Chains A and B, each alone.
Chain A
């Protein structure tokens, strides 16, 4: 049963991260995902200090706010201080993460949070933290429920906002011209990334979140030319990595999160070598251009 809960947790995190990661890598913002996954730490600590509980909702709100603040700060430094985008990302998230670490260490006595846990996570403990009602009924691990709700929200977000997310990722200037708010969708996406990060940080840790945000989407990108297929493939790659990573860790008696991240890297390598579309070993022959008589097509312009 423990194996089931751990793999389910990994798969839920993988689903959220892979879906959002597809948008991040196509917007060339994979490192913003990295930044957010670290910078939410002070939000979590502050939410904890204010409410005094480790309830999920205040933490999600605290982390969500910090996530948006991170993207705002990155934008601000990049646009107004005219620092390079990657430098601006680096400065912002290390700074916010450091503040989180200081808050953690200063209030260590009051905070039931652990630095190692935040960074590396401990997915093996997921089955221990059960949601048990007052009548003694057990509903399984608490994390699975939180992640399940977040995964549903993200799925809903992507299904409902599919065309806007697709267009603003591909051509933001055109989107703005025809009246689709690029910044609203940008911040909605970043809020979704923050939610995912904080929902998964205690089980898998910030580092595995980054691996799942970038690895499966990058693998799927190598395998297909179709965006919807890319979304599906990246979720499959993430879930496969959770399964394989778990059993790899059990076999080696090592860290589960580490094994999952390793397997993600392995998947990427395989796609890089053997992808039919872009792999370096089996590259598909370029499609020949369709032979259309271009001067003819001029004749049937508009009716």
Chain B
């Protein structure tokens, strides 16, 4: 079930990525509609992060191409933003929360120019949006996991981009942060932005996203959540692993009796 759309925001054509001659992604062909919240879902090692990084041309790709807003990625860098995995940076770095959020303005500033008042205001505004304004001067090593994630999100928001790539923004964060983030993502979608999220939790996927990409080295499905997130396609994605299948059962039960309380 791979659905292609007209006038896509992201178009991936025949993309293959290998690490050390070992292929991680095989012939990915997909298009994503504008203004949607897209979940990239699959088991560990399925190449979810790799797909997102390859879309932004952060990795050498074997074959294929990616177009964003119908253009090569380097033409539209100023319109894209990225929220890397929290663990990818050193949180003992001598920087304050505000320093990190201000980085979101660096791309627009260009070479040799310093952040102006407007940039500082934008950074502060972004911090308010994630409810972290009282932490602006705080050293980043003193933040909890959820707070780190909010800071990363604020940095992306300060950029005011049109498309956002987020790598596991919900991993290891508290419920309050998870709710705050998904709330923000929905508002961004309403403003016509496209958000592509690498996600590992099947249970919340159906509720969070309106477009789903199922991935396990090959593309299993890409389509609206209600069409793509089916038991059959999930089994194909997860290869019928027992523990996962019981999770799928859970998921289907939850669809019948929607409840939000149970979250591990």
Interface residues, chain A, CB within 8 Å of chain B? 26, 28, 82, 160-164, 166-167, 169-171, 173-180, 221, 224-227, 229-230, 286-287, 289-290, 292, 294-298, 300-303
For the complex, give the distance between the alpha carbons of A164 and B134 in Å: 26
* Interface bits B77-114 vs A (CB < 8 Å: 1, else 0): 11011101000111001111001100100110101101
Minimal beta-carbon separation of B145 from chain A (angstroms): 13
Query: Is A170 in contact with B100, judged by CB distance below 8 angstroms?
Result: yes
Given known pairs A163-B106, A173-B88, A302-B187, the reply for A292 and B131 (CB within 8 Å) is yes
Q: How many A-B residue pairs have CB under 8 A?
A: 121
Q: Of the candidates B81, B183, B187, which one forms a contact with A178 in the assembled complex, judged by CB atoms under 8 Å apart?
A: B81
The answer to whether B142 has its CB under 8 Å from any CB of chain A is: yes
Q: Which residues of B contact A160 (CB under 8 A)?
A: 112
Given known pairs A170-B100, A178-B107, the reply for A82 and B20 (CB within 8 Å) is yes
**Number of B positions contacting A (CB below 8 A):** 53
The answer to whether B242 has its CB under 8 Å from any CB of chain A is: no
Minimal beta-carbon separation of A84 from chain B (angstroms): 15
For the complex, give the distance between the alpha carbons of A244 and B111 in Å: 39
For the complex, give the distance between the alpha carbons of A292 and B135 in Å: 10
For the complex, give the distance between the alpha carbons of A179 and B111 in Å: 11
Q: Which residues of B contact A167 (CB under 8 A)?
A: 103, 106
For the complex, give the distance between the alpha carbons of A224 and B92 in Å: 11
Interface centre among B100, B106, B111, B128 (most CB of A within 10 A): B106
Main SS at interface, chain A: helix
For the complex, give the distance between the alpha carbons of A175 and B84 in Å: 11
For the complex, give the distance between the alpha carbons of A300 and B179 in Å: 13
Q: Which residues of B contact A28 (CB under 8 A)?
A: 90
For the complex, give the distance between the alpha carbons of A227 and B90 in Å: 14
Q: Of the candidates B89, B94, B179, which one forms a contact with A225 in the assembled complex, judged by CB atoms under 8 Å apart?
A: B94
For the complex, give the distance between the alpha carbons of A28 and B92 in Å: 12
Minimal beta-carbon separation of A30 from chain B (angstroms): 14
For the complex, give the distance between the alpha carbons of A164 and B109 in Å: 11
Given known pairs A177-B58, A179-B77, A301-B131, the reply for A227 and B94 (CB within 8 Å) is yes
Q: Of the candidates B53, B95, B142, which one forms a contact with A286 in the assembled complex, judged by CB atoms under 8 Å apart?
A: B142
Query: Is A173 in contact with B84, judged by CB distance below 8 angstroms?
Result: yes
Q: Which residues of B contact A163 (CB under 8 A)?
A: 103, 106, 109, 114-115
Query: Is A226 in contact with B96, judged by CB distance below 8 angstroms?
Result: yes
Query: Is A227 in contact with B184, judged by CB distance below 8 angstroms?
Result: no
Q: Of the candidates A166, A175, A225, A301, which one forms a contact with B141 in the assembled complex, judged by CB atoms under 8 Å apart?
A: A225
For the complex, give the distance between the alpha carbons of A28 and B115 in Å: 27
Query: Is B112 in contact with A177, judged by CB distance below 8 angstroms?
Result: no
Which residue on chain B has the smallest CB distance to residue A302?
B187
Q: Can you list 13 A-B contacts with CB-CB less than 8 angstroms, sorted by A residue number? A: A166-B103, A167-B103, A174-B84, A174-B155, A177-B56, A227-B94, A230-B94, A298-B176, A300-B129, A301-B131, A301-B184, A301-B187, A302-B187
Q: Which residues of B contact A286 (CB under 8 A)?
A: 142
Query: Is B94 in contact with A179, judged by CB distance below 8 angstroms?
Result: no
Given known pairs A226-B94, A301-B129, A301-B183, the reply for A179 and B107 (CB within 8 Å) is yes
For the complex, give the distance between the alpha carbons of A74 and B56 in Å: 26
Given known pairs A224-B94, A298-B180, the reply for A176 and B129 (CB within 8 Å) is no
Query: Is B103 in contact with A298, judged by CB distance below 8 angstroms?
Result: no
For the complex, give the distance between the alpha carbons of A298 and B175 in Å: 11
Which residue on chain B has the smallest CB distance to residue A297?
B131
The answer to whether B205 has its CB under 8 Å from any CB of chain A is: no
Q: Of the candidates A174, A179, A298, which one forms a contact with B131 in the assembled complex, judged by CB atoms under 8 Å apart?
A: A298
Query: Is A227 in contact with B99, judged by CB distance below 8 angstroms?
Result: yes
7 nearest CB pairs, A to B: A297-B131, A179-B77, A178-B107, A177-B82, A294-B176, A302-B187, A225-B139
Q: Which residues of B contact A303 (CB under 8 A)?
A: 129
* Interface bits B170-211 vs A (CB < 8 Å: 1, else 0): 000010110110011001100100000000000000000000
Q: Which residues of A contact B129 (CB under 8 A)?
A: 300-303
Minimal beta-carbon separation of B59 from chain A (angstroms): 10
